[in-house]
Amino acid sequence: MYQQQVDRSNPGCILFLVDHSFSMTDSFAGSPRSKCDAVATAINRFISELITMCEKGEEKPRHYFDVGVIGYTTDKKAIPIIGPALGGALAGRDLVSIVELYDNPLDMEERERDQDDGAGGLIKVKFTMPIWYRKPSPDMMAGTPMCGVFQYVKPILEYWCSSHPNSFPPIVINITDGESTDGDPEPAAADLRGVSTSDGNVLLYNCHLSSSEAEGVFLPDSESQLPDEFSRMLFRMSSPLTQKQRELAEVKNLRATVNSRGMAFNADGTKMLQLISVGTVAVAIDPSLLR
């Protein structure tokens, strides 16, 4: 299980579920950036790196992955608003291929980064940052229908698995900052994890973002490490790490045991990136992708 190499005949599937509740507009403790800004940057950067990883020096990057971003919130009357969140030509699509992502960025933003000038100093270097996903406007952000989003993506992944029966199973990364507002999500999460290919069941990882300075818990290996019932529920909803993921965690000096699950509780932006990194390397051909 969880051994299948990713190639064009057996591509991987990575699906982000992004909480669009209003509290995502709050900032992380000690940071001026809002949580939804940080999530957007992380997802765009991730897609850009995934495309780069699929580059072989040919006309286009190779179709090694299908990727999706699903947003979930409610309107002011608590009616769920759940659906694909990629923009531009890809709007309305639940899953798109790497090649489609490459061909259809929403925008190409010019940004600057510091680079070693070779003489002990730093120089600002311009680079192009493709954008595929933008945070929603605050007036479109309200509740957290977590049960609803798990139910929404289940048939999408069932269909994907039936079309890719021998692929590494889909990886779902749920990024949220609060408790479900549409009931107990555990049964729906269990249903989702029940979807499988011949190489294993869907892997569901949960990242809980925090505005408080409370200490975070990362890749816990038992419920007893967690402070309250909500966090323990997130633990139960999260899949264990595969062996390859544990090995990567070790390389990055992150503690992970055979019982560790793919979850972060009270995470800041850094821990969110680490969870995405550890979580997706299970299918990444090149572990250096997420250095």
Partner 1 sequence: MNAGSPLSTRPGCLFCLVQATPSMLRACREGSEEPRKLTLVCRGVEVILRQLLELHHRGIERVGNLSVAVIAYCHNSEGKLSFTPLLRETGKEPFLIHLTDLISREIDASEPKAPSHRLDSNLYHQLAEQSIDQPAASAALAYALHLTSRWLVTHADAWPAVILHFSDGEICDDHLMRSGRSLQLLGSASGSIGLAHLIFSEKVGRSVHGQRPSSPESCWQRLWELSSRISSSTSDMEERRALWVNANPWPVVERLLRETACQPVDPRDDGSPACVWMRALWYVKKGNAEQEWEDAFAFDASRAVAAICDGASQGIFARLWARQLAEAFVADQPNFQHSADLLAWVRGHRAAWLREINNRPGGLRWSQQEKVERDGASATLTTLQISINPQDNAIYWCAWAVGDSCLFWVRDNQLLASFPIAATRHFVLGPALLRTKLDSSPNPLRAKGRCLPGDLFLLATDAVAELLLRQVENGQPPDWNQFEVIEEGAWRQQLDSQREQRQMVNDDCTLVVVRVLPPMNSTTEGTTQPGG
Binding site for partner 1 (CB under 8 A): 5, 7-9, 48, 51-53, 55-57, 61, 102, 108, 128, 130, 285-286, 288
- Burial pattern 50-66, b for ≥16 Cβ within 10 A else e, equals bbebbeeeeeebbbbbb
Nearer to partner 1, 76 or 126 (CB): 126
CA atoms of 161 and 148, how far apart (whole Å): 20
Q: Which residue has the tokens 């051994």?
A: 3
Instruction: Give the residue from 221, 218, 197, 194 showing the smallest Cα distance to 208.
Output: 218
Inter-axis angle of helices 186-193 and 229-237, to 10 degrees?
A: 20
CB of 85 to partner 1, least distance (A): 22
CB of 101 to partner 1, least distance (A): 10
SS (H, E, C) 1-29: CCCCCCCCCCCEEEEEEEECCHHHHCECC
CB of 245 to partner 1, least distance (A): 14
Nearer to partner 1, 212 or 288 (CB): 288
Nearer to partner 1, 76 or 124 (CB): 124
What H or E segment, with its residue span, contains residue 128? strand 122-131
Instruction: Give the residue from 287, 280, 50 showing the smallest Cα distance to 170.
Output: 280
CB of 170 to partner 1, least distance (A): 20
CB of 38 to partner 1, least distance (A): 22
**CB of 17 within 8 A of CB of 175?**
yes
Nearer to partner 1, 30 or 57 (CB): 57
CB of 51 to partner 1, least distance (A): 5
* Runs of H (alpha helix) within 139-228: 146-163, 186-193
Structure-block tokens of residue 243: 């062996």
Nearer to partner 1, 45 or 232 (CB): 45
Structure-block tokens of residue 262: 């793919």
Nearer to partner 1, 191 or 250 (CB): 250
Nearer to partner 1, 50 or 141 (CB): 50
CB of 102 to partner 1, least distance (A): 7
CA atoms of 233 and 185, how far apart (whole Å): 9
